[in-house]
Structures are given as C-alpha cells and as structure tokens.
C-alpha cells in the first residue's frame, strides 16, 4: 500500500488551518459534501501541492439489503478522478433500510448471510470505482445477536472475498471495547494487516459510562494506546486525525498530530 504519512480530515471550517498546519502529509474529504463541478479552492490547492486527497464516503450503505446506489458510487468515482485520489473508502455498515435513512452508520449482524450481502455490494461498487476501496470498522452501541463470526473474522473474510483494503479506526475499536467489551488485540490479530490502507484516530467523550465517538473532543490517551497496539504489529501506511466539530486552535490540532507521530515512532 502507498505510504501516506500522517494526515487530518479536511473540513470547510478549518480549511486554512489544514493548509498551514505543519506535517500534514495527506487529507481526507467527506465525499457527500463535495461536488465535482465546484471543488473547494482549498482542496484543489492541497491536491496541486501534491498532498493526497482521499474521498471518504458515508452513504454507500454497503451492508444494506438493497443493491448499492450506482449514482452514489459514480459520484465517489468521479471525485476520486477529479482529486487524483489513490483510493476511496466507506464503512462496513448500513445507513438505509426499507427506504429509510437512519442517518447513522449502523453495525451489521456478523452472520454469513449478512457477509454475503456485503460482499456482493462491495464487488458491485468496486466494478464502478477507478481506484481501490478501503472499508472501515464502525463504532456500535449495540451488537446483533447470533453472530457467526467475530468482528476480526468478519473483516478477514470480507478482505479475502473482495480484495478490499482496510481502514481501521482505532477510536471505534476503543469505543467497542469500552462499550461492548470487544477484544481489541484479538481483532488486530485476526484481520489481514497487510491490507491496511490507513488508520483513523478521533476524539470522544465518556458520558454516563458510555464512550461516545464524537469527533468533537480531544483524542484520549486510551485511543492512542490502541494505535500503539496496532503499531506493534504493523507500520501503518497512513494515520489520519478526524475532527468534525468544536475545532480547537491550530496549535492544539498540531499537538494531536504530533502525538500520533510520537506513537508511530
């Protein structure tokens, strides 16, 4: 996998901050928020500086029972081409069911049937995409009963059958370990880390005993510990800080990037 380095999620509110922060090797844009015909000046500027810009989708609903929406895939594909992106990504989840949009990244039941549906959708999307697709683990507040596979096994089979790449969100791993009791090291042992494209790091908040993956708070040391666990197994091609709200001062964001770099060694 291409070496990406350390990056940050590009958001319109902090465009100038992202442009001037030291040590930003790549950025990620939320695919649904951009239009290929009028891309933000800041994103074009970063692209022209040679900084990889990776479109990150949240709405393909690859785990949904319905076939993938080809228009959404086409949008992601055209964005990848316009941005010269080396790869694109979405999540292992569903956001729509029966015509309703949940507005959330809902976890999938880890059954063979659900995996078959996911694999079919991923393959359909891959056919229309000009670049590799990486898939991300989500944070869940609930687990479907009667799982056939662990989350790690589920991802391993998904990679095996679709040849997709992995986008591992260590904050989501921490959230699931904290809220659902999932085993982080077992997950990391079970997934094919050689297919790792990059890693997400994000901040969150604990509220009434539940950890919320808010992307609006500072990155907690426990999340960096999960990153360190991953780093002990593999040198990730890229690690990206996600911050979506309550943006702190430039210096604070720079500090979080430096903390990530320190873990990577």
Binding residues for Fe ion, rule: CB under 5 A, are 169, 200
* CA-to-CA separations, 68 to 16, 121, 147, 249, 251, in angstroms, rounded: 35, 6, 24, 39, 41
| Interface with another protein, residue 41, by CB under 8 A | yes
| Interface with another protein, residue 47, by CB under 8 A | no
Binding mask 220-239 for another protein (x = CB under 8 A): --------------------
C-beta closer to Fe ion: residue 111 or 229: 229
DSSP 168-186: EEHHHHHHHHHHH---HHH
- Of 64, 62, 185, 190, the residue nearest 135 (C-alpha): 62
Q: Tokens representing 64?
A: 């949904």
- Of 113, 192, 179, the residue nearest 152 (C-alpha): 192
Residue 40 near which of Fe ion, another protein, none (CB within 5-8 Å, type-dependent): another protein
| Interface with another protein, residue 182, by CB under 8 A | no
Q: Alpha helix locations (H) across 5-150?
A: 15-20, 41-48, 70-83, 112-128
| Interface with another protein, residue 247, by CB under 8 A | yes
Tell me the closest approach of the beta carbon of residue 95 to another protein, in angstroms.
26
| Interface with another protein, residue 16, by CB under 8 A | yes
Q: Which of 4, 14, 54, 88 binds another protein (CB under 8 A)?
A: 14
Residue 200 near which of another protein, Fe ion, none (CB within 5-8 Å, type-dependent): Fe ion
Burial 96-105 (b: 16+ CB within 10 A, else e): beeeeeeeeb
Of 20-28, 118-126, 137-145, 243-251: span binding another protein (CB under 8 A) = 243-251
Contacting residues for 59 by C-beta, under 8 A, at least 6 apart: 32, 69, 72, 90, 95
| Interface with another protein, residue 40, by CB under 8 A | yes
Tell me the closest approach of the beta carbon of residue 248 to another protein, in angstroms.
4
- Which residue of this chain has its Cβ atom nearest to Fe ion in the complex? 200
Q: Which of 28, 42, 168, 254 binds another protein (CB under 8 A)?
A: 42
- Of 100, 83, 91, the residue nearest 43 (C-alpha): 83
C-beta closer to another protein: residue 66 or 245: 245
**Contact at 8 Å (CB) between 25 and 238?**
yes
- Of 100, 196, 180, the residue nearest 147 (C-alpha): 180
Which residues contact another protein (rule: CB under 8 A)? 12-17, 40-42, 246-249, 252
């Amino acid at each position: 996998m291409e070496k990406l380095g350390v990056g940050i999620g590009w958001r319109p509110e902090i465009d100038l901050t992202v442009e001037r922060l030291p040590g930003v090797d790549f950025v990620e844009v939320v695919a649904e928020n951009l239009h290929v015909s009028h891309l933000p000046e800041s994103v074009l500027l970063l692209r022209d500086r040679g900084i990889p810009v990776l479109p990150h989708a949240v709405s393909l609903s690859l785990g949904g029972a319905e076939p993938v929406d080809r228009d959404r895939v086409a949008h992601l594909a055209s964005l990848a081409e316009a941005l010269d992106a080396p790869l694109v990504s979405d999540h292992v989840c569903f956001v729509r069911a029966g015509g309703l949009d949940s507005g959330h990244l809902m976890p999938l039941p880890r059954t063979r049937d659900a995996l078959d549906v996911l694999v079919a959708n991923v393959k359909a999307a891959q056919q229309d995409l000009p670049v590799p697709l990486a898939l991300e683990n989500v944070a869940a507040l609930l687990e479907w009963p009667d799982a056939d596979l662990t989350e790690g096994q589920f991802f391993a089979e998904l990679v095996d059958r679709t040849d997709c790449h992995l986008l591992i969100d260590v904050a989501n791993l921490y959230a699931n370990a904290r809220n659902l009791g999932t085993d982080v090291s077992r997950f990391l042992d079970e997934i094919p880390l050689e297919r790792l494209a990059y890693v997400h790091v994000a901040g969150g908040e604990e509220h009434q005993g539940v950890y919320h993956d808010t992307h609006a708070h500072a990155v907690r040391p426990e999340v960096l510990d999960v990153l360190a666990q991953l780093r002990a197994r593999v040198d990730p091609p890229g690690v990206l800080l996600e911050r979506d709200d309550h943006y702190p001062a430039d210096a604070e964001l720079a500090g979080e990037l430096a903390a990530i770099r320190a873990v990577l060694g």
